[in-house]
Chains A and B, each alone.
Chain A
Amino acid sequence: MATPASSGLNWPSWINVSVRELLLVVGVIVITAGISIGSSGNFWAASNLTNLMISTAITLVPAIGMTVIIVTGGIDVSVGSMLGLVAVAGGTAFEYGLGLAAATPVFLIAGAILGLINGALITYGRVPPVIATLGTLSVYRAAAFLFLGNHWITMIPPSVTETMVLTQPLGVPVAVWIALVLLALGMVFLARLPRGRHIFAIGNNENAARLNGIPVERIKLAAYTLTGVLVGVAALMSLGHSPMVQTTTGTGFELTVIAAVVLGGTELTGGRGSLLGTLLGAILVGLVQNGVVLLHIQPFWSGVVLGVIILVSVGSATVRRND
């Protein structure tokens, strides 16, 4: 029932979405102003800004892959468990005494394998994306528990935090630079390269895309695998942020990522979406979580606020388009 609304000439739909992105920018400014007034300036403390930037980057990196997946008309609800299992694999590598450089491939490859499993189930197994990743959500979590048990990995070398968080060229942590570079690459890819256009084509009409000779299955498989790799990057960043792995690491993270993408205006029916929106969505989610802490609101409110923001944002967009 996907209605390819404004099909035809401008289907990467940058122009259509810009109103929404403008609104998101306004939302970010308003919330920032609110928090900085409410926290009597504590918001602008260097430690808080670093904190906010890192947690936004951790959401943003997998959200790039998630945006691509959702544009193809799929979804991946397993990224939280994936992050946990990848962190277990990478953390175990650290426990064996590997350094940051040697352990990085472990994170990326573990992520790639888990993403590939999701993609293979969805493309070649023809399991609907929600079902397949709902299944792997609990399977990956159980696997993390199988490897780790009730044990905690705390032997994360300090070099991870030093490299990812404390090294700050131009005042911005390396982790954030990595996220921004990945985002820029993704934007160029989606907007400028033929493969990027194919992703929108698949989301708009999969059969038409297939009949036009676009290798639908291979592209989807690549999208899920890529998301796995990006989750690996995020896992490494999150260990720099809080150097500890336990079996519950990453629980609920999939919802934060999906919330960022959806807030950014990417539609779950596929075929429409923008990475610029995803960036703004990730910032908004990060701001809400940060603001709740700074304003000494009960942390439980962050869920309520996030839920209401998603509903209002997506709902108003739909109403506007139908008018």
Chain B
Amino acid sequence: MNRIDWTGRAPVLLVISLITLIGVSIGAPGIWSTDNLFAMGVLAVEIGIIALGQTFVINTGGIDLSVGAIFALAQVVMGLAMVGGVPWPLAVMLGLGVGVLCGLVNGLATVWLRVPAIIVTLATMFAFSGLALVITSGIDVSGFPEGFAVLGQGTIGSVPLQIVAIYLPLLVLLAVVQWRTRFGRLVHLTGTNTLAARLTGIRIGRVQIATFVIAGGLAALAGAINASRLTTARPDAGATDNLISIAIVVLGGSSIFGGKGSVVGTALATLVIALVNYGLSFNNLNAIYQSGLIGLILIVAVLMQNIMLSIQQRRAAAT
């Protein structure tokens, strides 16, 4: 099996980044300061981490609509634990455990009950975000120990800690997992042809469960950073993250049917989305416009790719 091919959407992504860059430079000329770029990166890290996990799930041909709910559930569990006197590193571990457990529930339900992932995670999205609201009675949790702030507010030199010490190492690690390990290849094989994968003796169920666990754990990690950055854990956080993370993954070149895509593409798409978001909020435009524009970019990206594909096919047919 060759390296993962994400070239399909690369030109589209490049064009969109270019348009965004020009648009942002004209619309918000003050944006290119280091401080602004770091602020942009900080906002991008959380959704970026969620999207990395979503990439693995989508590459097996699945989908996870519950990552935003896990993001919220994990952060309020951590928050409640810390308020209850649990030392913060332990509380963070607990939150990550919750995320992994949620992912396990998604994976087991998908594989054992043989229910399509979209239904399972639709149901668990209701359940997880309901649980987050139930255990907090819908009230934000705050009053964390000081040490916890390091995750979302710490810096190394002048660079935000979560960019250099969490996101980038994670990206490298996952890229290596995807390109250099047996598991990485199995993920794409499962997505390419589930039946063939099963017939060649691959335990595709285990692969699918593992991807949901990764997605759950990473969503919880993003939740920890979010709660630390805002010094508040919100039970209703991440409601739009389910959809935006899928949009980012697809924009990054992953096929929604599985078998095609890479975490590097996802990271590039995260950058583009972050640029769009920050450019808009820099001009004081409402967050609803940001997600509206992301939706538009998503549709246009897939449309453009389809058009290029059909031109290619026509050329191939002509020769």
Shortest Cβ distance from B303 into chain A, in angstroms?
A: 5
Asked whether B311 is an interface residue with its Cβ less than 8 Å from the other chain, the reply is no
Instruction: Report B107-134 CB contacts with A as 1/0, cut-off 8 Å.
Output: 0010001111011101111111111011
Q: B residues within 8 A CB of A145? A: 286, 288-289, 292
Q: Of all chain A residues, which has the CB nearest B300?
A: A135
With A247-B288, A300-B133, A318-B115 given, is the CB distance from A311 to B109 under 8 Å? Answer: yes
Mark contacts of B275-319 with chain A using CB atoms, 8 A cut-off: 1 yes-contact digit, 0 otherwise.
Answer: 000000000001011011111101100110010000000000000
Chain B's closest residue to A309 (CB) is: B123
| Contact (Cβ within 8 A) A131 B292 | no
Among A120-128, A182-190, A194-202, the stretch that binds chain B is: A120-128
Docked complex Cα distance between A235 and B1 (Å): 51
**Nearest CB in chain A: distance from B59 CB, A:** 15
Question: What does the 1/0 interface line of A105-135 toward B look like (CB < 8 Å)?
Answer: 0000000000000000100011110111011
A136, B134: Cβ atoms closer than 8 Å: no
For A131, A141, A255, A305, which residue has the most chain B Cβ atoms within 10 angstroms?
A: A131
Residues of B within 8 A of A311 (CB): 109, 113, 115, 120, 123-124, 127
* Prevailing SS type, chain B contact patch: helix
B247 within 8 A of A: yes
Mask: chain A, 283-323; 1 = CB below 8 Å from B; 0 = not = 00000000000000010111111111011001100110010
Number of chain B residues close to chain A: CB under 8 A: 46
User: Knowing A145-B289, A315-B109 touch, does A135 contact B127 (C-beta < 8 A)?
Assistant: no
Contact between chains at A269 and B116 (CB < 8 Å): yes
Q: Which B residues lie within 8 Å of A305 (CB)?
A: 130
Interface bin, chain A: 35 or more
Please tell me if the beta carbons of B295 and A137 are within 8 angstroms of each other in the complex. Answer: yes
Given contacts A128-B256, A142-B292, A300-B134, contact A314 B119 (CB under 8 A): yes
Considering the chains assembled together, what is the distance between the CA atoms of A9 and B113 in angstroms?
A: 27
Identify which of B114, B286, B302 contacts A318 (C-beta below 8 A).
B114
Nearest-neighbor residue (CB-CB) of A297 within chain B:
B134
- Nearest B residue (CB) for A143: B292
A1 within 8 A of partner (CB): yes
The answer, among A128, A139, A304, for a CB contact under 8 Å with B130, is: A304
Judge if B143 is at the interface, Cβ distance under 8 Å: no
What residues on A are CB-neighbors of B128 within 8 Å?
A: 307
| Residues in B whose Cβ lies below 8 Å from that of A127 | 299, 302-303, 306
* B134–A139 CB distance below 8 A: no
Chain B residues within 8 Å of A64, by CB: none
A128-B256, A138-B295, A306-B123 known, 13 other contacts, Cβ within 8 Å: A127-B302, A127-B303, A130-B63, A139-B292, A145-B292, A303-B126, A303-B127, A303-B130, A306-B126, A307-B124, A307-B125, A308-B123, A314-B123
Contacts A/B (CB < 8 Å), 22 sampled: A125-B299, A125-B302, A131-B299, A136-B295, A139-B296, A142-B291, A142-B292, A145-B286, A258-B122, A268-B119, A298-B133, A300-B134, A300-B138, A302-B130, A303-B127, A306-B130, A307-B124, A310-B123, A311-B115, A311-B120, A318-B115, A322-B114
Interface residues of A (CB under 8 A from B): 1, 75, 121, 125-128, 130-132, 134-139, 141-143, 145-146, 247, 255, 258-259, 262, 268-269, 298, 300-308, 310-311, 314-315, 318-319, 322
Ranked 4 nearest A-B pairs via Cβ = A142-B292, A303-B130, A307-B127, A300-B133
